[in-house]
Amino acid sequence: MRIGEVAAAVGVSVDTLRRWEAEGRITFERRGNQRVLSADQLKQLVSTSNGNERSSSARNRFAGVVVSVIRDGVMAQVELQCGDYRVVSLMSREAADDLGLEPGVAATAVVKSTNVVVETEPPRPIRRRS
């Protein structure tokens, strides 16, 4: 199977498979410019990736500690301190309750952004023409 077919079968991205290959977790055969994997190797890969190990197409994981949870009737705002980074997540109150999120709980923020974050610098003074 070609790398794209393997990615679809395992439920990860092609980039993840390339990273796994660089880490030595998987070995593809080369046929010209194509990476291919035998059915036996695919079976082994699927069995190991469906165990306790999580697989995700999200690349950014920030391990940290919950420092604040603000709940209302429907939503929750969860703030994590992840090293030097502060990460804030908005989720349903039910999800926060199910995860047992409270200050002091260890958690990992998994970020897969489909949004554009806008940053600004301090405002510049407006120059008026004389």
- What are the extents of the domains in the chain? 3-49, 60-111
Could you tell me the two tokens for 105?
Answer: 């709980």
Long-range (24+ apart) CB contacts under 8 A made by 105-108 are 105/65, 105/66, 106/63, 106/64, 106/65, 106/66, 107/63, 107/64, 107/65, 107/66, 107/78, 107/80, 108/61, 108/62, 108/63, 108/64
pLDDT tens digits for range 78-111: 999 988 889 999 999 999 999 999 999 888 888 8
Give the pLDDT of residue 112. Answer: 77
Q: Tell me what pLDDT residue 57 has.
A: 65
Residue 77: pLDDT over 70: yes
What CATH number belongs to 60-111? 2.40.50.100
pLDDT digits (tens, 9 = 90+) for 33-70: 888 988 778 877 776 655 445 566 666 778 889 999 99
**Per DSSP, what are the bridge partners of residue 92?**
75
Confidence of residue 116 (pLDDT cuts 50, 70, 90): low
Q: Which amino acid is at 24?
A: G
